[in-house]
Amino acid sequence: MGDGVSVNRGAEFYPDFHGGHRIVLGRNVRVAPHARLHAAGHDLADTAYAHTGGDIVVEDDVWIGAGVLLLPGVTVGAGSVIGAGSVVTGDIPPGSVAVGVPARVVRQRDPEP
């Protein structure tokens, strides 16, 4: 967890203790209430639901909105915003605004002056 990280009430973090997959938060990341980050999961193709997972990396200066779900193996690029209630199933490029289920990029943020 980098400097200046803010985690609001009800946020949940599930690193992958069995597979060693981590949740990494960069500098100045804002995590809104009831966001969930799940670095572990199960293989749907396996009838025994074998354990799977992947690192979640949230780069610097990201805002994760209320009730967002980040799934295993995703990277949220620096300066991005993930809209409330979104489910992030794949990587989000830096400087993006992504919303929806599954989350998709709807626009790029304007760079700082």
Query: What single-letter DSSP state applies at residue 46?
Result: S
Give 107's strand partners.
97
Question: What number of helices (H) and strands (E) belong to the chain?
Answer: 0, 15
The label of the residue with tokens 């994760």 reads 64
Pairwise CA distance, residues 92 & 84, whole Å? 15
Q: What DSSP string runs through 86-102? A: -EE-S-B-TTEEEETTT
| The pair of three-digit structure tokens given for residue 57, joined into one six-digit string | 């990396």
Structure tokens, 82: 């993930």
| Residues catalogued as catalytic | 42
